[in-house]
Structure 1
Amino acid sequence: MSVATPYFDQLFAGNDDPWAFRQRWYERRKRALTLAVLTRPRYASIFEPGCANGELSAELAPRCDRLLCCDTASAAVTLAEKRLLGFAHAQVQQSRLPQQWPAGPFDLIVLSELCYYLDIDDLNTLIDRALASLADDGQLLACHWRPAIEGCPQTADEVHALLQKRLDMAHLARHHETDFLLDLWGRDGASVATREGLR
């Protein structure tokens, strides 16, 4: 069974940064690596489900023309809205995924620290909906904490293995460490050098 919304509501009760996204060097470094693996300087439309308090969202916003974020916890949505106040092209909504997946199309979908909270059926549904809403040359980024999390139905390794199997897209970037997995897939397999005419 997927982790239910009250679990996340409780995490945000009286705490505006339950994973210490702002304080921990681990989190700041991981965000920098996440942004660094993106092969384009700018995207027309980015979707970030499970945005939490909007720390990664605020760094994705300058890289796109439209940013849509969502979270299942109402407190997280409020915090992310405040974090993104300076970005008129950014929108945050409360949604439970995969059931309330937006229409798209999206040039980039960012699945950061989200998928291991879903059981296998919900994760497969999420992948189906991501594929259906991804633009013809769209990309999907996944980043997940690697150690097992109590109460989560899946691990990062299981999630990324399923994504690799199901996406049927070129693997554009891969950064794996003891602590986390970071992968980028794209329907257009062109490298950065190829895009800039260097190859």
Structure 2
Amino acid sequence: MNPLQSNSLPPSYFDKLYSENPDPWKFETSVYEANKYAATIAALPKERYRSAFEIGGSIGVLTEKLQARCDRLFSVDVSKLAQDKAKKRCQHLSNVNFQIMRVPEEYPNQIFDLTLVSEVGYYWSWGDLKKSQQCILEHLELGGHLLLVHWTLYACDYPLSGDEVHDSFLELPSNKLRHLKGQREEEYRLDLFERV
């Protein structure tokens, strides 16, 4: 593995993007994003989750869809600009809580039955990805689900690729995570795991 840069992307990287464009990845309007979000929700094996954790909630488009399957959803992001928009979008939803948090330097002291890592893992350095994996495993209950969804095309300023992120979870010991489902589309892949 030869990452283009060895450090995780800092919060300032995202604040700059959001200050120049409130929806830099067209989460609200892209057909690609809409189809990917539908596949993400459809991949969830349980109809209802008690306590879910979304790492990198951005402006809350997926957050709003995900919360319909959760009693409680905790969504974090590194950018206040993005999260302010997410809070506004979800202000009518009492089961969603938000916090500015940079994983893995910080991680909530809770146990979850669902953790979602969507379009965020390739912003981590290799070392931070490994630390994040450890945090996710420690805070995912037995039988809980981990869902990864990432764009797989080349991005010159990302430390890792989507495939590297997913493959690194597939390489974790099978006595920690069991792979339940893999789905590859033209521009993204989805992998579902269960904590064992």
TM range (shorter): over 0.9
Structure 1 residues not aligned, in runs of 5+: 189-199
Cross-structure match for 1:21: 27
Cross-structure match for 1:196: none
TM superposition score normalised by structure 2: 0.93
Q: Distance in 2 between matches of 1:11 and 1:64?
A: 30
Cross-structure match for 1:33: 39
**What letter matches 2:115 in structure 1?**
I
The alpha carbon displacement at 1:80 in A equals 1.0
Point out 4+ residue stretches in structure 1 off by more than 3 angstroms. Answer: none
Cross-structure match for 1:164: 170
Cross-structure match for 1:52: 58
Cross-structure match for 2:117: 111
Instruction: Give SS of 1:10's match.
Output: helix
After superposition, the CA RMSD in angstroms is 1.1
The alpha carbon displacement at 1:14 in A equals 4.4
The Cα offsets for residues 72-112 of structure 1, whole Å up to 9 and x where unpaired, read as 01111111111111211110100111111111210100000
The alpha carbon displacement at 1:173 in A equals 1.5
The alpha carbon displacement at 1:17 in A equals 1.2
The Cα offsets for residues 33-54 of structure 1, whole Å up to 9 and x where unpaired, read as 0001110111001100100000
Q: 2:76 aligns with which of 70, 73, 77?
A: 70
Q: Distance in 2 between matches of 1:77 and 1:187?
A: 29
Cross-structure match for 2:67: 61
Cross-structure match for 1:124: 130
Q: Distance in 1 between matches of 2:147 and 2:141?
A: 14
Instruction: Give SS of 1:136's match.
Output: strand
Is 1:176–2:171 an aligned residue pair? no
**What letter matches 1:174 in structure 2?**
G
Instruction: Give SS of 2:27's match.
Output: coil
Q: 2:153 aligns with which of 147, 151, 157?
A: 147
Structure 2 residues not aligned, in runs of 5+: 1-6
Q: Distance in 1 between matches of 2:9 and 2:109?
A: 24
Report the count of equivalent residues: 188
Q: Distance in 1 between matches of 2:147 and 2:186?
A: 19
Percent of aligned pairs sharing the same letter: 36
Q: 2:99 aligns with which of 82, 90, 93?
A: 93
The alpha carbon displacement at 1:174 in A equals 1.2
